């Protein structure tokens, strides 16, 4: 089935340029073009559009206003801002409205890559209602108690980026938004950034504060106490998994880039659970089905929604432009056997780290771990599990959160 894409720009020469550049994609993409926000909305009324790529600075209705309307009226549409205007504050604004930001001049391959990567994940999410919820998210519920502490730290003259990074890592929502921002084309970085310390260094104090400010206004929304408590628990678990996974990576002598990917995958691996809290009534239904605390969360998710938190989180972070290694690890962290691998990767390490943190035994019992033994056996990792567990069990203790 063709992907339908709407391009919006007030400059006719730019529109004509799109048509020339994307002529070779006519068999794969149904292409629509608009010279204004108003014209774009008319096209949206009359056609089912999958992706909108809009210029930011246009007369009348600008790109930010247009995408705000698209988010409200057509939340399932993938929203991309394309602009040559390097206004930092506007970029922070658009991260709540656009899934990705591309900087002019933007070549065909970059546009194709962004769209195709997003749709390779979308094929695993067939629930239209859920698609609307995911694509409608600009911000994720964050842990309110961290805000003042982070802000105080950011205002301190003596604090190091490592300390700030460690604190921010406790909150998957803030972590995800910072990484979405630094990986936008606005910053023109030559590679995808998965290190929180690198992201803080690139963005700078003022940008980080702006992100926190936007999330803070969202966090003040009227979420029930039990939902906030659940998000906090997800944050605690995620931090322990991230620390465990990174330590395993060090044992396996992985390079800095891989260690960064492993850590961020750990922090964000359950962010799909936080996203699912925005599905009306889901938390209460999930709580009833898991009243004994013994049911598998993925079984419940499929029963209620037809999709798992793995794919929900991977899809959103994928369209936000996070590194592919991180996305794959998150998408398959409960089912790594679906990926054909011949070496230890972020996925295999995350899979084991998550099982270690969930394991409640005081002594190692490999047969009680919730892991894919066949997958780990194919990678010759089964004999390493006990040493890994002994080396990382300290991270699963409450006083190490």
Residues 274 and 36: their CA atoms lie apart, in Å, by: 36
Count of structural domains within the chain = 2
Tens digits of per-residue pLDDT, 148-206?
677 677 667 677 888 888 888 888 878 888 888 788 765 667 778 888 888 888 877 66
- Please state the rounded mean pLDDT for residues 72-89: 76
Instruction: Specify whether 95 is located in the same domain as 197.
Output: no
| Domain containing residue 167: CATH number | 1.10.3210.10
Tens digits of per-residue pLDDT, 317-375?
887 778 889 999 999 999 999 998 889 999 999 999 999 999 988 888 888 899 999 99
Instruction: Specify whether 174 is located in the same domain as 276.
Output: yes
Work out the pLDDT band at 69, boundaries 50, 70, 90.
Answer: very high
Does residue 25 form part of some domain?
Answer: yes
Instruction: Specify whether 178 is located in the same domain as 62.
Output: no
Does residue 235 form part of some domain?
Answer: yes
pLDDT of residue 401: 45
Does residue 365 form part of some domain?
Answer: yes
Instruction: Specify whether 153 is located in the same domain as 118.
Output: no
Instruction: Specify whether 110 is located in the same domain as 21.
Output: yes
Instruction: Specify whether 118 is located in the same domain as 149.
Output: no
Does residue 15 form part of some domain?
Answer: yes
Q: By C-alpha distance, which of 314, 238, 233, 231 is closest to 272?
A: 314
Burial of 382 (0-12, 13-18, 19+ CB in 10 A): middle
Give the domain-ending residue among 57, 88, 123. 123
User: In Å, how far from its chain's centre is CA 151?
Assistant: 23
Residues 383 and 13: their CA atoms lie apart, in Å, by: 62
Before 144, cis peptide (omega within 30)? no
Cβ neighbors of 159 (< 8 A, separation 6 or more) are 153
Domain holding 11, by residue range, is 3-123
Edge-first strand order for the sheet with 3-8 is 29-34, 3-8, 51-55, 78-83, 100-103
Residues 58 and 73: their CA atoms lie apart, in Å, by: 20
Instruction: Specify whether 16 is located in the same domain as 69.
Output: yes
pTM (predicted TM-score): 0.75
Angle among Cα 81, 82, 87 to the nearest 5 degrees reads 85
Instruction: Specify whether 299 is located in the same domain as 365.
Output: yes
Instruction: Provide the Cα torsion 126, 130, 136, 138; round to 10°.
Output: -110
Instruction: Specify whether 64 is located in the same domain as 161.
Output: no
Instruction: Specify whether 193 is located in the same domain as 318.
Output: yes
Out of 54-63, 122-131, 254-263, 384-393, which region has the weakest mean confidence (pLDDT)? Answer: 122-131
Counting residues of the chain whose pLDDT is more than 70, the rounded percentage is 82
Give the domain-ending residue among 123, 158, 182. 123
Residues 55 and 34: their CA atoms lie apart, in Å, by: 11
Tens digits of per-residue pLDDT, 204-234?
766 676 566 556 544 544 567 777 788 878 8
Instruction: Specify whether 105 is located in the same domain as 187.
Output: no
């Amino acid at each position: 089935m063709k992907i339908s894409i709407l391009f919006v720009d007030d400059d006719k020469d730019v529109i004509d340029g799109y048509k020339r550049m994307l002529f070779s994609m006519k068999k794969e993409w149904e292409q629509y073009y608009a010279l204004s926000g108003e014209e774009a909305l008319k096209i949206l009324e009359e056609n089912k559009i999958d992706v909108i790529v809009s210029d930011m600075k246009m007369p009348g209705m600008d790109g930010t206003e247009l995408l705000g309307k698209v988010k409200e009226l057509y939340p399932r549409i993938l929203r991309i801002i394309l602009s040559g205007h390097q206004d930092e504050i506007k970029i922070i604004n658009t991260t709540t409205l656009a899934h990705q930001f591309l900087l002019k001049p933007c070549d065909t391959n970059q546009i194709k890559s962004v769209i195709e990567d997003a749709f390779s994940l979308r094929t695993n999410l067939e629930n239209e209602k859920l698609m609307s919820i995911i694509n409608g998210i600009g911000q994720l519920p964050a842990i309110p108690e961290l805000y003042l502490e982070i802000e105080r730290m950011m205002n301190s003259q003596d604090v190091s980026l490592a300390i700030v990074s460690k604190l921010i890592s406790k909150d998957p929502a803030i972590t995800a938004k910072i990484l979405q921002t630094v990986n936008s084309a606005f910053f023109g970085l030559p590679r995808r950034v998965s290190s929180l310390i690198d992201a803080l260094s690139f963005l700078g104090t003022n940008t980080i504060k702006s992100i926190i400010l936007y999330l803070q206004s969202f966090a003040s929304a009227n979420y029930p106490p039990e939902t906030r408590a659940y998000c906090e628990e997800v944050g605690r678990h995620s931090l322990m998994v991230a620390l465990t996974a990174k330590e395993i990576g060090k044992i396996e002598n992985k390079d800095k880039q891989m260690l960064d990917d492993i850590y961020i995958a750990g922090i964000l691996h359950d962010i799909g659970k936080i996203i699912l809290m925005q599905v009306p009534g889901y938390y209460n239904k999930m709580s009833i089905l898991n009243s004994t605390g013994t049911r598998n969360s993925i079984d419940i998710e499929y029963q209620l929604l037809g999709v798992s938190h793995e794919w929900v989180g991977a899809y959103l972070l994928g369209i936000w432009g996070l590194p592919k290694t991180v996305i794959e690890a998150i998408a398959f962290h409960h089912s790594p056997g679906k990926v054909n691998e011949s070496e230890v990767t972020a996925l295999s390490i995350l899979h084991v780290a998550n099982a270690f943190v969930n394991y409640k035994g005081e002594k190692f019992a490999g047969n009680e771990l919730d892991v894919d033994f066949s997958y780990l056996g194919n990678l010759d990792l089964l004999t390493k599990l006990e040493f890994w567990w002994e080396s990382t069990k300290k991270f699963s203790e409450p006083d190490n959160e």
